[in-house]
Chain A
Amino acid sequence: MAKDQKKLEYVLRIADNALILGQRLSEWCGHGPVLEEDIALSNISLDYFGQASHLLKYAAEIEEAGNDEDHLAFHRDDTEFRNLLMVELPNGDYAFTIARQFFFSVWYQLFLEGLLKSQDEFLRGFAEKSLKEVKYHVQHASDWVIRMGDGTEESRRRIIQAFADLADFIPECFTTDELDLYAIQHGWGPDASHLKESWQKNVAAVCTEAGLEMPAEGWGQRGGKIGKHTEYLGFILAEMQYLQRAHPGAKW
């Protein structure tokens, strides 16, 4: 147990979203529908990895167990990950990947804006840096949602399906449990439940332009924030962690 276990868990929640979604997006590298999108998703993935690396380094300092960021990325088991379930879902088709980018990055931007007021100096600096990148991600995903919604019959059918498939995974973004409340009380970060209104407003603006309905209010699949994951996370980790598990500490 770290001296400040709560802070450690809180930082991991932010870091693991970036790490796992970065890993997911990297799967598109070499498989994108067009070269520009291949490059775009790889770049966004790189932004996430950078963010995860800075946060995990900070988490390792809080943990005081002599670990570094690589150890936290490559030597934790699935139940020790704290990401939202949404980010670990398989990429699906391009519409699904884009819909998830859209829902997640709109939420992430609002979360980071809240984090700008954190009492924690590191988290404040992290938010300031990352926001600049995430704004570009939001713009990229929004453009594509509009293009697909207002595109061909096929693209429209697919983006509508993606919205439906993701609906159950949206509510988890706005949940606050005991740890979140502790974090809010200590001024570490924003109250996620308060982000919902702005999120709906921002999503609705793009949906209107795309001629799409808002995603339905799903019943809310949850558990990622406390380490209860879907069956997909283990497979991500198997691929992501393989080399460091087989050859611990390998460097090149």
Chain B
Amino acid sequence: MKGKDRPGEEEVLQWLSEVSDPEIPALNVVEMGIVRNVKWNGDVVEVTITPTYSGCPAMRTIEEDIGEVLREKFLDKYTVITSLSPAWTTDWMTDDAREKLVKEGIAPPQKGSADKGLLMGKLRDVKCPRCGSFDTMMVSQFGSTACKSLYKCNQCLEPFDYFKCI
């Protein structure tokens, strides 16, 4: 694809927001901050993605789903590049994405990169996505997926996932 026929990088990015995160289907890979860049290199479109966690098992599916969307738009010449640096941070998630998380019953990560307080052994105030109470406790730092911790609300007594900051 050449010249004025080919879509702009912004437009391609827009298409990619159709690709959902396989582990949190309510969110797409653009608002998650997984898609880092779209660039034309000659007649090849290069999509750069970065894993949330090194071992995120969704990466391969995401790569395939991106390819599928591009092929549907008749962009057959593409490459998906995985880049580790700069390392993904929860700060890249958009405000929209955070709101969607709450609707899914997942407490969104707090802003301000790594949970320094948590790493120093202090717990942060995490708001229950169900009843809004701050009277919550961490059950385990590791939850249903690599990116989440398991919490419990002491008010409504429901367990919930907290998207942990990295």
Number of interface residues of A (CB under 8 A): 28
The binding surface of chain B is classed by DSSP as loop
The binding surface of chain A is classed by DSSP as helix
State the CA gap A138–B95 with chains docked (Å): 30
Interface size class, chain B:
20 to 34
Given A126-B84, A128-B84, A129-B87: A51 in contact with B54 (beta carbons within 8 A) = yes
Given A36-B140, A46-B146: A133 in contact with B84 (beta carbons within 8 A) = no
A75 at the interface (CB under 8 A from B): no
Given A43-B146, A47-B146: A128 in contact with B57 (beta carbons within 8 A) = no
A130 at the interface (CB under 8 A from B): yes
| Docked complex: A121-152 residues within 8 A CB-CB of B | 121-122, 124-126, 128-130, 132-133, 135-136, 139-140
Q: Are B86 and A139 in contact (CB under 8 A)?
A: no
User: Which residues of B have CB within 8 Å of A46?
Assistant: 53, 55, 57, 146
B85 at the interface (CB under 8 A from A): yes
User: Which residues of B have CB within 8 Å of A126?
Assistant: 84
| Docked complex: A35-85 residues within 8 A CB-CB of B | 36-37, 39-40, 43-44, 46-51, 53-54
State the CA gap A130–B53 with chains docked (Å): 8
State the CA gap A133–B84 with chains docked (Å): 13
Additional A-B contact list (14), CB under 8 Å, known A43-B146, A136-B141: A40-B141, A46-B55, A47-B53, A50-B54, A122-B84, A125-B83, A125-B86, A128-B84, A128-B85, A129-B54, A132-B89, A132-B166, A139-B121, A139-B141
Q: Chain A interface (Cβ within 8 Å of chain B)? A: 36-37, 39-40, 43-44, 46-51, 53-54, 121-122, 124-126, 128-130, 132-133, 135-136, 139-140
